[in-house]
Amino acid sequence: MIRNALSQYYFSGKGVSGMDYREFWQEENESVRERYELSVERLRLIRTEETVPEPFRAYFKAAAGFMTDAALVYEMNDTGAFRMQPIGRLKQINDMLYQDILPANYDTSYANPSYAGAQLGEDYGKLLSYLLSEIRGQIVFAHECRLTELTILNELFIEIYNMFEEEELPAPERIRETIYWFISDYTDLTAEYRLREQVDPALPFAKDIVMEADLSDLRYLYFYGEYVSEEELKIARFMNSLPQETIDCMADTYTEGYRKGFTVMNVDLSKKKSVAVVYELGYERMVKKAIENFTAMGLKVMLFRGGVWSMDRQGGRRAGYHGTSPNRQYDYDHRFDSAVYYQKAYTDRRQAVLGTVYETYKKQCADYAGPAVIETFGKAGFEPVNKPEAWALTQKQEKLKVAAAGATALLREKYIPSDETSFTIIAFPKPSIGPDFEEIFAETIRINTLDYDRYQKIQQNIIDRLDQAEHVIVTGAGDNHTHMKVMLHKLSDPSAQTNFENCVADVNIPLGEVFTSPVLTGTEGVLEVGSVYIGEFQFKNLHMEFKDGKITDYSCANFDDPAENKKLLKQMILQNHDTLPIGEFAIGTNTVAYAMARRFGIIDRLPILIVEKMGPHFAVGDTCYSRAEDSPMYNPNGKEVIARENECSALRHAEPEKAYFNCHTDITIPYPEIGEIYGVTAAGEKLPLIAGGRFVVPGTELLNEALGVI
């Protein structure tokens, strides 16, 4: 009766997928149900037993309590009762599942490596804190009714608990080995699902929430299993307050940018059948309209969640839909939990499994057109605390990570060629940006819809001057000591060739940049930025030095210890490489965005997507044309962009393992920190581009109008 009531209340028929999410997993769930029920009964006993010595008994009872709570949430979802609860009860359940890691409680949580280490000892604390973090994935599995994942985590926990019931405490290495074999043995399951959710439109869970829920009833936010903060509730309420024409404008700009990306790249979108939409909770009204737009283009939509297992949370990043983090310090503490089990035998096994998985889903991979991403901005800066008790990669593991990322990228390229896909990214503010949120939101929509043709013509004037140059000089102003020399490719036929792409609002929204892939040889100097956001982290006084286009030294001022600063930079910017080349040099032209940011005082809150349009920027890692260098690229004026490779990517045919770095990180110098930018011809003539904080190329006067009102 409950299941039938749910169908009438929540779904119209069986949702867009043809079945509800419980039925999707029904056959697999039945195959493990007996194991699951036995494991849950054992967990309930653990909560009352005293067979494990203190201080470990308290840990296991707390963890077993969380797991039995997750079991209750699964049962509510499996019967349909969960989605029939009033919003107050749903909030209580959400708070119950996440309370342990909220900032107010984190100091006394076993999920905190420092607390776990203090209570359980350093070696046991690190391992058992990791275990609890992995187990927290049960929140997701309980909401999605994925019984296999719930069961195997229960069984792992019970196996380790049993070790502590023995006469002598288990050696930490024995626990670590048990974890290793668990992760390795279930790689077939975890790797397959992670790929499948990104390329297979048949998975129904999130898509049915977006398309079938009553989005005016904010209970739907709790259906995901993500942490729901006041931020998600506020943005959802705000989205519900917008007229449909505003929602349509937002979604149309986003999906049209995606379509234009294929046109610009000269790729036939009609050959593709699916697109992955990535978003943050609260934006469902826009996502729903976007899904309708994509459907009209002939594309089915995947909505995949940010990584749940530790092997899928790369450096703490969650690529996929997600809510606000309940605790960014918790995410930071566990960003390298894979160090527990990361070794060559594991990477070899995972790579072999991925090969099989890609082959299994090769049709879905061939149909995949690429991602369409909705980013958000506005949250306050995060200053992480480094904890010695948290897991960190060894140098050997860092090298393994780099090698594994390269191998995985080559495999992905085989089944999802880069020159056959595209993408788009757009960003909107969150309420946490402050009291001017609604006005900033309206301004962001205006920035995202600036006149495409008008800026295309303005930017062409800049490109025409740049194409006369042999190299470009970028200098800083005031305390910014940037002095970069950027070498450009030689144009053999300037009448038909160009070095810079004229980038307006297609894949990167908003519009506003001209960019190139520099020649590495001779590119050198110092790059400095007072403050820049890269992912979740705000880097302070970032300093990088280059020789022949590659990083030779780097530092920042996030921590008092220079070694800790270098470690953070290597992990987050160099992605564990010893060095990276400059893959892109660009000049941003969106002075409207800059004026808006200055007006509201939010420059330090903006994402790189917008900031990169607000001044010159350099990207370290691969070029913008990575793995698509051999596909011709033309500007609107018909000239071919020839700067599609550098000395590294030129190795792609002879030594492909040395050609790519599988990362691309933008670093922008904001307008106030710019001294001047100018080109230099082969004869030594200076060609001014920006001087005194203003564009000086004829035909760019409009760009200075926005700067004039600051």
Largest CA-CA distance found in the chain, in angstroms, rounded: 84
Residue 398 clears pLDDT 70, i.e. is over it = yes
Please give the pLDDT value at position 19.
56
Percent of the chain beyond pLDDT 70?
96
Q: Does 5 have pLDDT greater than 60? A: no
Average pLDDT over residues 288-314: 95
Name the nearest CA neighbour of 637 among 392, 453, 399, 489: 453
What residues have CB less than 8 Å from 318, skipping those under 6 apart?
Answer: 306, 307
pLDDT for 615: 83
What pLDDT is recorded for position 671?
79
Which tens digits make up the pLDDT trace of 178-206?
999 999 999 999 999 999 999 999 999 99
Residue 460's pLDDT is what?
A: 97
Choose the weakest-confidence range: 17-31, 357-371, 378-392, 586-600. 17-31
- Which segment of 53-62, 334-343, 505-514 scores lowest on mean pLDDT? 505-514
To the nearest 10 degrees (0 to 180), the angle between helices 344-360 and 395-415 is 10
pLDDT over 80 at 108, yes or no: yes
Q: What is the pTM of this model?
A: 0.91
* Residue partners of 505: CB distance under 8 A and separation at least 6: 253, 257, 260, 448, 449, 450, 452, 511
Residue 503 has pLDDT above 90, yes or no: no
**What pairing do the DSSP bridges indicate for beta strands 300-302 and 274-278?**
parallel
- Record the tokens describing residue 283, joined without a space: 């934006």
693 is written with which tokens? 């904080």
* pLDDT at position 647: 96
Q: State mean pLDDT over 620-634.
A: 91
Q: What is the pLDDT of residue 571?
A: 86
Average pLDDT estimate for 333-344: 96
Confidence of residue 507 (pLDDT cuts 50, 70, 90): confident
pLDDT of residue 315: 65
pLDDT band at 11 (very low <50, low <70, confident <90, very high): very low
Instruction: Indicate the SS3 state at residue 577.
Output: coil
656 band by pLDDT with thresholds 50, 70 and 90: confident
* Each residue's pLDDT tens digit, 41-67: 999 999 999 999 999 999 999 999 999
Residue 316's pLDDT band, with cuts at 50, 70 and 90, is: low
